[in-house]
Structure 1
Amino acid sequence: MATPEAILLLHGFGGHPLQTALLARRLRAKGFDVANIGYPSWRWPIDRVLDHLHRRLTASPVSAAKTLHCVGHSMGGLMLRAYIARHRPENLGRVVMLGTPNDGSEIADLLYRLRLHQPILNHAGALLRTRRDAATEARFGAIDYPVGVIAGDRPMIGALPNHIFRAPNDGKVSVAATHVAGQSDHLTLPVAHTAMIYSQPVADQIAHFLREGCFKRPSQPHLQQMGKAL
């Protein structure tokens, strides 16, 4: 018997499935089967990554689930958009993006200006910068499926991100850049870019969107209490 609801979970740039293991465990505890799949975000061009993800996903038991949801952290959200555009699963459910630079990252732009993008970003640079070329942008396709976006506005480092962004941000991506045309819901939480994948409230919001199609709006006192706990 196929699992009713499953999740394809992708880490971000330079990440590893070990980093998203806690999030995967929390989502499994909520009743989802989870495929926490890794990919070489720096070494491989996007086409090779997409082929790799397709092989791994089709070989995973989650591909037979009645509904296959997707969750991507940071660049993982961009990879999900490109994957769905090329290999859209027939059982596709809802998608949640965590701190995904849908409109690019100002940090990536800074690396381009300093001419450090090649050694630091390599193949991922074209995806992560704000001024993407037309061919790269076309890979993401149109959002015609339910998408929820969670952004953070509590960077771990104070002065440097504020100097670069001059707008609410999570330390690596501005809140504004996480928005994407066609999104179903958007939520900003007091978390940093990397820390959001370790946050219990973020995991709770992911599960709520996947089940209900919207995020749960916390009351202001609860939000303040959450900020102190993170």
Structure 2
Amino acid sequence: MPANTPDALQHDGRDLVVVLHGVGVTCRWMSRIARAVEEAGYRVVNRTYPSRKLPLEKLGAQWLPRLLLENGAAEAPRIHFVTHSMGGIVVRLWLRECGDCLPKNLGRIVMIAPPNHGSELPDRLRGFPPFHWFTGVNGPRLGTGDDSLPRQLSLKAFPKGAELGIIAGNRTLNPLFSHWIKRESDGTVSVASTRLDGMCDHIVMPHSHTGILLSRPVAAQAVLFLREGKFDRTVP
């Protein structure tokens, strides 16, 4: 039986790690992190998803469950996630759909630069056509206003039984974006917005919102949290 069929994957024997990119890009942006996780001995699924076209609720309630089913997640010893930016919101929506029936094999979740309380950039760029082209139907919903989906999710505590580690960046490449955010940030998401009640650990690293994905130390910290449930601040 080919190794990439669902039936074969169900009997792989390794923990499964699902890697999710942010809005408007592809899975290639997660390649360095996915490779580091795979080299650490995990089975990795890193797929491009319709982040611009499919509403967030459908990504969390339909697309992600289907991906998990196709890759034998229920049969894996444990299932973990490593996400970037909006990918973390997709996982939070999936967890909301699970309710009190979280998978028994749910492991650890690493969110990299997640807008857990929204970002000021969608607030400012709502009327800017290129922003809508790049982020599609979901970008405007990641702001900080009353219609912010991340803020609505934050009204409920992160579910118990899911270990969460968050990596934030604090370097910015765009002075205008920094002016809009006004707080320590990665140029897109403030450090404060990445935090979430119920998280197990949080670390700030010197990278921009996109540059954080190219960092070997960031990939190493993600692997460390998957293994041990904590980050290591002694590692440069």
Identical-pair percentage: 35
In 1: Cα distance, 2:148 partner to 2:87 partner? 20
Secondary structure at the aligned position of 2:94 is classed as helix
Corresponding residue for 2:3? none
Secondary structure at the aligned position of 2:28 is classed as coil
Cα distance, 1:33 vs. partner? 0.8
Structure 1 residue 16 corresponds to structure 2 residue 29: no
Corresponding residue for 2:37? 27
Corresponding residue for 2:68? 57
Cα root mean square deviation, aligned: 2.2
Partner of residue 39 from structure 1, selected from 31, 34, 49: 49
Task: Mark the CA change 1:212 to 1:136 in structure 2 (over 3 Å): closer, same or farther.
Answer: closer
In 1: Cα distance, 2:54 partner to 2:87 partner? 14
Secondary structure at the aligned position of 1:151 is classed as strand
Cα distance, 1:127 vs. partner? 3.7
Cα distance, 1:139 vs. partner? 5.3
In 1: Cα distance, 2:20 partner to 2:148 partner? 24
Task: Mark the CA change 1:34 to 1:132 in structure 2 (over 3 Å): closer, same or farther.
Answer: farther
In 1: Cα distance, 2:190 partner to 2:25 partner? 20
Unpaired runs of 5+ residues, structure 2, are 1-10
Task: Mark the CA change 1:118 to 1:154 in structure 2 (over 3 Å): closer, same or farther.
Answer: closer
Q: Following superposition of structure 1 onto structure 2, how do residues 36-185 of structure 1 map, counting pairs within 5 Å?
A: 36-50=46-60, 51-87=62-98, 88-112=102-126, 114=127, 116=129, 118-125=132-139, 127-133=141-147, 137=151, 142-143=157-158, 144=160, 145-157=162-174, 159-185=175-201
**Amino acid across the alignment from 2:170:** D
TM-score normalised according to structure 2 size = 0.83
Unpaired runs of 5+ residues, structure 1, are 224-230
In 1: Cα distance, 2:12 partner to 2:50 partner? 29
Q: 1:17-49: per-residue Cα shift (whole Å, max 9, x none)? A: 121122211110111111112211111112332
**Amino acid across the alignment from 2:64:** L
Task: Mark the CA change 1:193 to 1:52 in structure 2 (over 3 Å): closer, same or farther.
Answer: same
**Amino acid across the alignment from 1:16:** T
In 2: Cα distance, 1:139 partner to 1:118 partner? 23
Contact 2:18/2:81 (8 A) holds in 1: yes
Contact 1:37/1:53 (8 A) holds in 2: no
Structure 1 residue 186 corresponds to structure 2 residue 186: no
Task: Mark the CA change 1:105 to 1:136 in structure 2 (over 3 Å): closer, same or farther.
Answer: closer
**Amino acid across the alignment from 2:75:** A
TM-score normalised according to structure 1 size = 0.85
